[in-house]
């Protein structure tokens, strides 16, 4: 079946429908990863967005029940150059197309994803609509695209109630992990280091965390504009004002920056992929990282009396990490649990363990 992708700038791409045959309006973003499409689709940080895969062949190893990063996919739409009709892998359980259909993710293939990515890079992330309608009025679609905004996503993706991920072996520490759109491997990276992890809903009060007997708190990744989360930011400030060790990633990193007086801004096209170079300033070392974010902490608004920039993006110089003057508190913009190295940046979890009194070679 034919399908079309209409962008907010009026550009129309024609291709073939994949996945669900439903009209879908969302924010279109691109990801430069060559693999990991199932993990990308199930990353809650993509709530409200349609994903354009810049790599031309997607779906070639199928999907399986083990690689989900959350309970379900959160992406609204999926755009590829070519969708493999079958998966060739000993772990393959189904095709990607069937997976998209089962989860009501609309998609399109057979378009020039290189041209589409160049538009999003040069003109910025923009809304788009995928439709299977044979006839449509572009001006009517543009009205829908102008009205669409990604919002309320943290409430959509967070766990409805707290649950526990037990330590893999002997329990050494108890950690509260605030779920703003957490990926499963984040809790697993703590659990295998001897932490019993309590995953808490996003709007959990700081007073509950501080009264819970935890040794540390982690703030997770998540979707949307960080500045929209005013109530959460107020609770994060209370956690910062305590003595509890804090480690924050992605959205959590941005929320803590906002809670301490810095500002965030929307990027032109964001960082999404598994190949982003980041320099650890203190170590003088560069790491290849996995990233998924459209907002960034504005370096000029970070009070040097509060925090220092610890990591920077080698490509564009944006803030990738903050080391706070307050003891045992640090954050990063990238995903150390996502294993692009595959374990190059897991030293950050070891650092968090050390901040709770453990050893760095945990």
Instruction: Please tell me the distance from the alpha carbon of residue 44 to that of residue 69, in angstroms, as a whole number.
Output: 8
Cα 29 from chain centroid?
12
- 103 CB neighbour count, 10 Å cutoff: 15
Instruction: Please tell me the distance from the alpha carbon of residue 162 to that of residue 177, in angstroms, as a whole number.
Output: 10
Q: Which token pair is 319?
A: 């803030």
Q: Which of 134, 99, 88 is nearest to 18 (CA)?
A: 99
Based on the residue annotation, tell me whether 22 is a catalytic residue of this protein.
no
DSSP state for residue 326 in the 8-state scheme: S
Q: Are 231 and 202 in contact (CB under 8 A)?
A: no
Name the 3-class secondary structure at 258: helix
**Which of 250, 253, 276, 293 is flagged as catalytic?**
250
Q: Which of 218, 336, 331, 316 is nearest to 274 (CA)?
A: 336
Beta strands in the chain (DSSP E): 2-7, 12-19, 24-31, 49-53, 57-58, 77-80, 82-83, 106-109, 126-131, 163-165, 173-179, 195-201, 216-219, 246-249, 264-280, 285-297, 307-313, 319-324, 329-332
**Which of 276, 293, 311, 335 is flagged as catalytic?**
335
* Cα–Cα distances in angstroms (integers) from residue 337 to residues 52, 157, 249, in the given order: 23, 19, 10
Based on the residue annotation, tell me whether 250 is a catalytic residue of this protein.
yes
Instruction: Please tell me the distance from the alpha carbon of residue 171 to that of residue 46, in angstroms, as a whole number.
Output: 33
Catalytically annotated residues: 250, 335, 337
């Amino acid at each position: 079946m034919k399908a079309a992708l209409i962008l907010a700038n009026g550009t129309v791409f024609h291709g073939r429908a994949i996945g669900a045959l439903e009209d879908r309006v969302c924010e279109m973003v691109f990801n430069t990863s060559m693999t990991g499409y199932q993990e990308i689709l199930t990353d809650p940080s993509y709530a409200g967005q349609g994903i354009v895969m810049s790599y031309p062949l997607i779906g070639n190893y199928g999907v399986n029940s083990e690689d989900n990063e959350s309970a379900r996919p959160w992406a609204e739409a999926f755009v590829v150059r070519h969708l493999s009709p079958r998966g060739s892998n000993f772990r393959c359980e189904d095709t990607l197309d069937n997976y998209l259909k089962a989860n009501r993710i609309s998609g399109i293939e057979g378009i020039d994803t290189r041209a589409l990515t160049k538009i999003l890079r040069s003109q910025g992330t923009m809304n788009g609509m995928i439709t299977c309608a044979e006839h449509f009025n572009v001006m009517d679609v543009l009205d829908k695209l102008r009205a669409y905004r990604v919002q309320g996503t943290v409430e959509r993706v967070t766990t409805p109630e707290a649950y526990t991920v037990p330590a893999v072996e002997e329990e050494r520490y108890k950690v509260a992990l605030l779920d703003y759109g957490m990926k499963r491997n984040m809790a697993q990276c703590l659990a295998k280091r001897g932490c019993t992890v309590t995953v808490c809903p996003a709007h959990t009060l700081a007073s509950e965390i501080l009264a819970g007997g935890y040794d540390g708190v982690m703030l997770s990744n998540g979707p949307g504009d960080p500045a929209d989360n005013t109530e959460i930011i107020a609770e994060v400030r209370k956690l910062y004002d305590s003595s509890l060790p804090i480690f924050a990633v992605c959205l959590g990193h941005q929320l803590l920056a906002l809670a301490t007086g810095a500002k965030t801004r929307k990027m032109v096209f964001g960082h999404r992929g598994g190949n982003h170079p980041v320099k650890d300033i203190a170590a003088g070392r560069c790491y290849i990282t996995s990233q998924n974010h459209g907002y960034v902490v504005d370096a000029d608004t970070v009070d040097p009396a509060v925090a220092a920039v610890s990591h920077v993006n080698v490509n564009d110089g944006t803030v990738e990490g903050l080391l706070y003057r307050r003891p045992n508190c640090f954050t990063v913009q990238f995903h150390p649990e996502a294993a692009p190295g595959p374990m190059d940046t897991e030293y950050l979890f070891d650092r968090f363990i050390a901040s709770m009194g453990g050893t760095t070679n945990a």
